[in-house]
A = this chain, B = another copy of it.
């Protein structure tokens, strides 16, 4: 005999009343509620998760799916931790818990998610690292699980999303480089099939076209989204038939390796080659300071949580005017690298 029954016995009242008291239901005497609450905290009683969610049909946990392994999406621990922190502050207000669903690098993400939702592990999920076509969207839609994605996709099932403004980034960066006379601009496109890469490259091409410039295929550098990947790009740059005079990268992690690689081949960022990237804690102290796009990750997390809640039936009333889809703006920070 454990759990609520024990507590009820101890207080000599029925388990029904105890449950009602703890859950803040109306029809329970204030005095008894006080007693119950007091006893619960003193004995350290917390309702069992399984029993509760079995009965209620919901678990009270929100899952943030992410793939583990060193080279994921080019986002590291700090990126997600900052976003998480924002998400948490909103969810905590509704007594919801955030957990990270960790899909290992040797599991199929789609199958993993399938298992998670079928088990009824989480009430709603947040997806990141969205691919150009992403079967996970359809899976969740089919199972009627509320979700929001950090990133867009060609696949669209009407769910809310928030995505960094990679197109705006391309727009500003390329425009700026062209204005200052660059004719041969290179792009670093992280390996994988992430949607953001497509958006970024495509828009860049458009902007170039407006200026009667074109993006040479040899100036699209593909690399694994890691420091090492960036290092490798330097060599690729040297091997070009006509060397680009500027490079834009959509990824945070690549840049430190790139700087080092360039230096080794005798190209000085900001002098011999212009570089524009994304802000990150590591990029913050690069030597010719990086011209980069910045954003508040915590705020991003907050919006993400609000967007998610706005599609959850039990909570949507609290967020009547939450925007469903949001292209998250980034600010350009002037640096010496461009």
Chain A stretch 100-123: residues in CB contact (< 8 A) with chain B:
100-102, 104-107, 114-115, 118-121
- A79 CA to B115 CA, complexed, in Å: 26
- A81 CA to B74 CA, complexed, in Å: 11
Q: How far is the CB of A84 from chain B (nearest CB, A)?
A: 4
Q: Could you tell me if B59 and A50 are in contact, using CB atoms closer than 8 angstroms?
A: yes
Q: How far is the CB of A180 from chain B (nearest CB, A)?
A: 26
Q: Could you tell me if A256 and B228 are in contact, using CB atoms closer than 8 angstroms?
A: no
Q: How far is the CB of A112 from chain B (nearest CB, A)?
A: 9
Set of chain B residues within 8 Å of A106, measured between Cβ atoms? 89
Q: Could you tell me if B69 and A82 are in contact, using CB atoms closer than 8 angstroms?
A: yes
A199 contacts partner chain B, Cβ-Cβ < 8 Å:
no
Q: Could you tell me if A46 and B81 are in contact, using CB atoms closer than 8 angstroms?
A: no
- A80 CA to B69 CA, complexed, in Å: 9
Copies of this chain, complex-wide, total 2
- A112 CA to B271 CA, complexed, in Å: 51
A17 contacts partner chain B, Cβ-Cβ < 8 Å:
no
Q: How far is the CB of A97 from chain B (nearest CB, A)?
A: 8
Interface size on A, residues (CB 8 A): 66
Task: Identify the stretch in A171-179, A235-243, A277-285, A312-320 within 8 Å (CB) of chain B at 4 or more residues.
Answer: A277-285
Task: Identify the stretch in A159-167, A204-212, A257-265 within 8 Å (CB) of chain B at 4 or more residues.
Answer: A257-265
- A194 CA to B59 CA, complexed, in Å: 33
Set of chain B residues within 8 Å of A105, measured between Cβ atoms? 85
- A50 CA to B54 CA, complexed, in Å: 5
Residue of B nearest to A88 (CB): B104
A51 contacts partner chain B, Cβ-Cβ < 8 Å:
yes
Q: Residue A78 contacts which of B45, B47, B70 (CB distance < 8 angstroms)?
A: B70
Q: How far is the CB of A6 from chain B (nearest CB, A)?
A: 13
Closest 6 A-B residue pairs measured CB to CB? A76-B77, A46-B118, A88-B104, A100-B100, A260-B285, A50-B54
- 24 pairs from A and B in contact (CB 8 Å cutoff): A44-B114, A46-B118, A46-B119, A49-B120, A50-B54, A64-B102, A68-B85, A68-B88, A70-B298, A71-B78, A75-B77, A76-B76, A77-B282, A84-B102, A85-B104, A92-B104, A99-B100, A99-B101, A100-B100, A228-B284, A253-B281, A256-B256, A257-B284, A261-B285
The interface of chain A, by Cβ under 8 A from chain B, is 44-51, 53-54, 59, 63-64, 66, 68-72, 75-82, 84-85, 88-89, 92, 98-102, 104-107, 114-115, 118-121, 226-228, 231, 253, 256-257, 259-261, 263, 281-282, 284-287, 297-298
